[in-house]
Structure 1
Amino acid sequence: MKPSRLLPLLLASLKFVSGYLLASRAYELHRDEYLYLNYGRHLAWGYLEVPPLTALQSWVTLALGGGWGWVKFWPFLWGSLTVYLVARLVQYVGGGWFAVSLAGIGYMVAAYARLNFLFQPNSFEVLAFTAASYALVRHAQTSQPRYLYALGAMLGLSMLNKYTTLFYAGALLAGLLLTPQRQLLWNRHLWGAAALALLLWLPNLLWQLVHGIPFLHHMELLHDTQLVNMSAADFWKEQLLMCFPVVWIWVPGLLALLLYRPFRPYRAVGIIYLAGMLILTVMRGKGYYALGYYPVLLSFGSVWLERQLASWRFGAVARPALLMLPAVPLIWFLPFVFTLYSPTHMQRIGPRYESLGLLRWEDGKNHPLPQDYADMVGWQELADKTWQAYQALPAATRANTLIKCDNYGQAGAINYYNRNRALPVANSHNGSYLFWFPPRPTQSFRYLLLVGEGEPAKLVPHFREFRKVGEITNPYAREKGTTIHLGTDPDTAILNLAYREHRAELAAWEKHK
Structure 2
Amino acid sequence: MNLNKSPWPFICLLAIIKFALPFFLQHPVYELHRDEFLYLEQGHHLAWGYMEVPPMLSWLSYLTHLFGGSFFWVKFWPSLFGAFTLIVTCYMVVEMGGKSFAVFVAGLCILFTAYLRLHFLFQANFLEVFWWAVSAYFIIRYINSKQVKFLYWIGFAFGCAWLSKNSVSFFILGFAVGLLLTQYRSLLLNKHLYGAGLLAFVVALPNLLWQYNHNWPLLHHMKELRETQLQFLSPVDFLTGQIFMYFTAFFIWVIGLLWLFTTAGKQYRILAWIYLTVIVLLVISSGKNYYSMGLYPMLFAAGSVALQQWTTVKLKWLRWAAVAVILFLAGFTLPMAMPLWEPDKLAAYYNERDVEGTGMLKWEDQHNHSLPQDFADYLGWKEITEKTERFYESLPQKEKDSTIIYCRHYGLAGALKYYGKDEQFKLKVISDNGSFLHWIPNDIAFKHLLFVGRRMPDADDEVFQHFQKATIIDSVTYKHSRQLGDKVIFFENADSLASKLAAEGLNQMKQEFSRKKL
TM surpasses 0.5: yes
> How many angstroms apart in 1 are the aligned matches of 2:319 and 2:335?
28
Name structure 2 gaps, 5 residues minimum: none
Map of 2:446 onto structure 1: 445
Map of 2:311 onto structure 1: 309
| Pairwise CA distance, 1:91 | 1.4
Classify the secondary structure of the residue corresponding to 2:45.
coil
Matched, 1:455 2:459: no
| Pairwise CA distance, 1:2 | 5.9
Classify the secondary structure of the residue corresponding to 1:402.
strand
TM-score (norm 1): 0.93
| Pairwise CA distance, 1:263 | 2.3
> How many angstroms apart in 1 are the aligned matches of 2:77 and 2:206?
23
Map of 1:344 onto structure 2: 344
Question: 1:208, 1:214 within 8 Å by CA — same for their partners in 2?
Answer: yes
- The one-letter amino acid paired with 2:319 is R
| Pairwise CA distance, 1:282 | 1.9
| Pairwise CA distance, 1:455 | 2.4
Matched, 1:475 2:485: no
TM-score (norm 2): 0.92
> 1:188-207 to 2 correspondence within 5 Å?
188-207=191-210
Which of residues 290, 301, 319 is equivalent to 1:299? 301
Question: 1:214, 1:510 within 8 Å by CA — same for their partners in 2?
Answer: no
| Pairwise CA distance, 1:187 | 3.0
- The one-letter amino acid paired with 1:324 is A
| Pairwise CA distance, 1:350 | 2.9
Matched, 1:50 2:53: yes
Classify the secondary structure of the residue corresponding to 1:327.
helix
> 1:241-320 to 2 correspondence within 5 Å?
241-259=244-262, 261-311=263-313, 313-315=314-316, 317-320=317-320
Map of 1:19 onto structure 2: 22
> 1:66-81 to 2 correspondence within 5 Å?
66-81=69-84
> How many angstroms apart in 2 are the aligned matches of 1:280 and 1:366?
25
Map of 1:408 onto structure 2: 410
Classify the secondary structure of the residue corresponding to 1:454.
coil
Question: 2:340, 2:346 within 8 Å by CA — same for their partners in 1?
Answer: no
- The one-letter amino acid paired with 2:456 is E
Please give the per-residue CA displacement for 1:351-375, whole angstroms capped at 9, x wherever unaligned.
Answer: 1223334333344444332222111
- The one-letter amino acid paired with 1:343 is P
Classify the secondary structure of the residue corresponding to 1:49.
coil
- The one-letter amino acid paired with 2:503 is Y
Classify the secondary structure of the residue corresponding to 1:3.
coil
> How many angstroms apart in 1 are the aligned matches of 2:174 and 2:182?
12
Please give the per-residue CA displacement for 1:465-499, whole angstroms capped at 9, x wherever unaligned.
Answer: 43233322222211112111222331133334433
Is 33-42 or 463-472 further displaced after alignment? 463-472
> How many angstroms apart in 1 are the aligned matches of 2:311 and 2:501?
70
Map of 1:484 onto structure 2: 488
Map of 2:114 onto structure 1: 111
- The one-letter amino acid paired with 2:255 is P
Matched, 1:335 2:335: yes
> How many angstroms apart in 1 are the aligned matches of 2:99 and 2:423?
54
Please give the per-residue CA displacement for 1:1-55, whole angstroms capped at 9, x wherever unaligned.
Answer: 9632111111111111102111111100110111111101111111111111111
Matched, 1:375 2:377: yes
Task: Pick closer, same or farther for the CA change 1:360–1:457 going to 2, 3 Å.
Answer: closer
Map of 2:154 onto structure 1: 151
> How many angstroms apart in 2 are the aligned matches of 1:272 and 1:358?
28
Question: 2:442, 2:507 within 8 Å by CA — same for their partners in 1?
Answer: no
- The one-letter amino acid paired with 2:20 is V
| Pairwise CA distance, 1:135 | 0.3
Matched, 1:183 2:186: yes
Map of 1:418 onto structure 2: 420
Question: 1:445, 1:489 within 8 Å by CA — same for their partners in 2?
Answer: no
Classify the secondary structure of the residue corresponding to 1:218.
helix
Matched, 1:101 2:104: yes
> How many angstroms apart in 1 are the aligned matches of 2:56 and 2:264?
38
Map of 2:91 onto structure 1: 88
RMSD between aligned residues: 2.2
Classify the secondary structure of the residue corresponding to 2:423.
coil
Task: Pick closer, same or farther for the CA change 1:321–1:74 going to 2, 3 Å.
Answer: same
> How many angstroms apart in 2 are the aligned matches of 1:366 and 1:448?
35
> How many angstroms apart in 2 are the aligned matches of 1:337 and 1:233?
21
> 1:2-17 to 2 correspondence within 5 Å?
3-17=6-20
| Pairwise CA distance, 1:440 | 2.5
- The one-letter amino acid paired with 1:337 is A
> How many angstroms apart in 2 are the aligned matches of 1:91 and 1:434?
47
Map of 1:171 onto structure 2: 174
> How many angstroms apart in 1 are the aligned matches of 2:465 and 2:89?
62
| Pairwise CA distance, 1:202 | 0.5
